[in-house]
């Protein structure tokens, strides 16, 4: 497995996003299946595991704490604060006192004394980013966390935060069908020596061998509210998927491997963070680290946003107000 650097620690170039083991895509897998994926990830060389207080409203952190409490030396543990459940509803709260309390709760659920990489999951726009990062820096000083990350913020906000305390990693969506990090923040991460962690690098299932059937999404599947996954937009994006199938065949790999190999080739500071509930898919994903794409295929993939533009925005209007990333018009 190739490695990439976050702060002073080297991790696998392909990590594991643990969200869908507890959250967001309908009924989560059984405890036994989730345990198989987590332990299997470590066994095949994945050394970055990513969770959050939000995922399953604490259940995902509890899962990792239970399954991996004796394995902490084998991986870098990343979690997030700033979004959680309160009185049955999802709340964004970046106040310093809330961040510190959320961290204590996460440490307890994760059964650990320190979190290696702790992200502000969303910037609470009612709180100056300097205040939220200041609270995180105090957690570093206290030895509760080792490094600070941010999620879904713009280049401007990233610079403001980095001026308060070094930011080790920025996490945002980046894939063949979500290219907005290329507007500014990807370059700023390179400039400031910040790792860029790409979540949903497989397009929430669109960048797979077979397209997800939107008519069979479970009731609590978050893709139901995402414009790109409307039946109309999925039909409009069929041409893009067919073209990716052709390019994957040309490259001698699967579509997920094509997507991940392209992403890793975009910069040495980029780490891919796919999620899965399937150990077979996990093994397929890490095979991307061995894929070497020809210049012709890379050029075709780079031009994809112009030759086969994506129909539909990635978030609905309400969710879009919660994030701070640059967006293409």
- CA quadruple 258, 264, 266, 272: dihedral sign: positive
| 5-34 mean pLDDT | 96
Report the C-alpha gap between 122 and 277 in whole angstroms. 25
76 pLDDT more than 90: yes
Q: Output b/e per residue, 274-299; b: 16+ Cβ within 10 A.
A: bbbbebebbebbbbbbebebeeebbe
Q: Mean pLDDT of all residues in the chain?
A: 96
What whole-number distance in Å separates Cα of residue 303 and Cα of residue 294? Answer: 14
Confidence check: pLDDT of 88 > 80 = no
pTM of the model: 0.97
The structural domains of the chain, with segments of one domain joined by +, span: 3-209+259-290
Query: Do the Cβ atoms of 185 and 211 come closer than 8 Å?
Result: no
pLDDT at 84: 86
CB atoms within 10 A of CB 55: 26
Would you state the pLDDT for residue 90? Answer: 87
Q: Cβ(65)–Cβ(55) under 8 Å?
A: no
Please choose, from the candidates 323, 287, 253, 286, the residue with its C-alpha nearest in 3D space to the C-alpha of residue 48: 286
CATH node for 3-209+259-290? 3.20.20.100
The residue among 116, 93, 106, 317 whose CA lies nearest residue 226 is 317
Q: What is the pLDDT of residue 194?
A: 98
Q: Average pLDDT in the 115-136 region? A: 98
Q: Are 22 and 63 in contact (CB under 8 A)?
A: yes
Measure the N-to-C terminal CA separation of the chain; round to a whole number of Å. 37
Distance CA 275, CA 159 (A): 28
- Burial (CB < 10 A; 0-12, 13-18, 19+), residue 143, is exposed
- Within the chain, residue ranges assigned H as helices are 31-43, 59-68, 96-110, 129-141, 155-164, 185-192, 231-236, 238-251, 255-265, 279-286, 295-302, 304-307, 317-320
- Digit-coded pLDDT (tens) for 20-73: 999 999 999 999 999 999 999 999 999 999 999 999 999 999 999 999 989 999
What's the pLDDT tens digit per position in 239-287? 999 999 999 999 999 999 999 999 999 999 999 999 999 999 999 999 9
Q: How confident is the model at residue 295 (pLDDT cuts 50, 70, 90)?
A: very high
pLDDT cut 70: percent of the chain above it: 100
Look at residue 199 and give its three-state secondary structure. Answer: strand
* 329 pLDDT above the threshold of 80: no
> Around 234, how many Cα atoms within 13 Å sit in the side-chain half-sphere?
17
Find the radius of gyration of the CA atoms of the chain. 19
Q: Is the pLDDT of residue 219 over 80?
A: yes
* Pairing mode of beta strands 89-92, 83-86: antiparallel
Specify whether 55 is catalytic: yes
Q: Say yes or no to pLDDT of 86 above 90.
A: no
**SS3 track for 123-159:** CCCCCCHHHHHHHHHHHHHCCCEEEEEEECCCHHHHH
Per annotation, catalytic residue among 55, 118, 174, 315: 55
Q: Which residues pair with 150 in a beta bridge?
A: 120, 170
Rounded Cα distance between 114 and 276, Å, is: 26
Sign of CA dihedral 210, 29, 83, 49: negative
By three-state DSSP, how is residue 319 classified?
helix
Residue 6 pLDDT class (50, 70, 90 cuts)? very high
- Quick one: average pLDDT of 301-318? 96
At 1 the pLDDT is 83
């Amino acid at each position: 497995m190739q490695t990439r650097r976050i702060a002073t620690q080297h991790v696998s170039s392909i990590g594991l996003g643990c969200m869908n083991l507890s959250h967001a895509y309908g009924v989560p897998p059984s405890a036994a299946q989730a345990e198989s994926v987590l332990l299997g990830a470590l066994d095949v060389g994945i050394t970055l595991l990513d969770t959050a207080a939000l995922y399953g409203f604490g259940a995902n952190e509890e899962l990792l704490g239970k399954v991996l409490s004796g394995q902490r030396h084998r991986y870098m543990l990343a979690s997030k604060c700033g979004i959680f459940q309160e009185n049955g509803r999802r709340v964004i709260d970046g106040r310093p006192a809330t961040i510190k309390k959320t961290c204590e709760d996460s440490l307890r659920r994760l059964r650990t004394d320190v979190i290696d990489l702790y992200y502000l999951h969303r910037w609470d726009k009612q709180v100056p980013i300097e205040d939220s990062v200041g609270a995180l820096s105090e957690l570093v000083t206290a030895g509760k966390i080792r490094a600070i990350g941010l999620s879904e913020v713009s280049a401007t906000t990233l610079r403001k935060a980095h001026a308060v305390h070094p930011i080790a990693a920025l996490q945002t969506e980046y894939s063949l069908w979500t290219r907005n990090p290329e507007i500014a923040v990807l370059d700023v991460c390179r400039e400031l020596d910040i790792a860029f962690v790409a979540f949903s690098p497989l397009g929430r299932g669109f960048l797979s061998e077979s397209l997800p059937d939107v008519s069979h999404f479970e009731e609590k599947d978050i893709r139901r509210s995402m414009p790109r996954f409307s039946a109309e937009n999925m039909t409009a994006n069929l041409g893009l998927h067919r073209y990716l199938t052709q390019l994957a065949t040309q490259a001698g790999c699967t579509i997920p491997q094509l997507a991940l190999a392209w992403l890793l080739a975009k910069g040495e500071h980029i780490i891919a963070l796919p999620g899965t509930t399937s150990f077979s898919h996990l093994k397929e994903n890490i095979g991307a680290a061995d894929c070497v794409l020809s210049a012709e295929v890379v050029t075709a993939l780079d031009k994809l946003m112009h030759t086969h533009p994506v129909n539909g925005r990635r978030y609905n209007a309400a969710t879009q107000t919660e994030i701070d990333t640059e967006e293409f018009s």
